[in-house]
Amino acid sequence: MQPAAAPWRYATWSALTTDELCRLMVLRQRVFVVEQACPYLDADGWDPRATHLWCDDDAGAAAVAYLRVFAPGVKYAEASLGRIVTAPEARGGGLGRRLVAEGLARIAAAHGAAPVRIGAQAYLERFYGEAGFVRVSDDYLEDGIPHLEMVRR
C-alpha cells in the first residue's frame, strides 16, 4: 500500500537508526533478491558513502520506496542514483516516479544542475527515459540481469 503523501526521509548512513536500516534492507532483499530470484550480495559496501532516501507505509512499519544518492565523484564522475526500488504492493500509482523525481531534486539542491548517471535494469529503460535519462552504454549483465548505463544531463 502506498502512503497517501509520501513523507520522504533522507539520511546519511551514520544517521540511520537500526530500525530504519532494517526496513530499508528488508525492502531491497524482498525485491532484488527474492522477487527477482537473484542471489547476490546486495550489501555491496557502497551504503556508507550514500545518502538514503525513502518513504514508509502509512503505519510506519515498512519501507515502500527507496533509493540511494551519491554525490559527484563518489561512485561515478557524475552524481548517481542507485538501488531504486518500490515495494510490489506500492506499485502502479506513480510512487516510483515520485521517488526518482525526489532523488533528482535532492541532487539538484546539493549539487546544482549536475549530470546524473544510473545503472538501470534494461527493462526499465523507458521508465527512466521519462525522467530525462538517455542510454549511454550497450547492455551488460550484472548479477545475471541485463543492465545499461543512462545519464541525465
pLDDT band at 6 (very low <50, low <70, confident <90, very high): low
Angstrom distance (rounded) from CA 20 to CA 32: 18
Percentage of residues of the chain with pLDDT beyond 90: 93
Angstrom distance (rounded) from CA 42 to CA 39: 9
pLDDT band at 48 (very low <50, low <70, confident <90, very high): very high
Residue 73 C-alpha cell reads as 565523484
Within 1-153, strands assigned E span 9-12, 51-56, 63-70, 79-86, 116-121, 134-135, 140-142, 145-152
Q: What is the CATH number of domain 9-113?
A: 3.40.630.30
Structural domain spans, the chain? 9-113
3-state DSSP assignment of residue 102: helix
Identify the residue whose cell numbers are 513523507: 7
pTM of the model: 0.94
Query: What digits encode the pLDDT tens for the residues 105-142?
Result: 999 999 999 999 999 999 999 999 999 999 999 999 99
Residue 95 C-alpha cell reads as 510512487
Q: Which pLDDT score is estimated for 34?
A: 95
Angstrom distance (rounded) from CA 105 to CA 113: 10
pLDDT band at 2 (very low <50, low <70, confident <90, very high): low
Query: Is the model's pLDDT at 50 over the cut of 90?
Result: yes
Query: What digits encode the pLDDT tens for the residues 56-82?
Result: 999 999 999 999 999 999 999 999 999
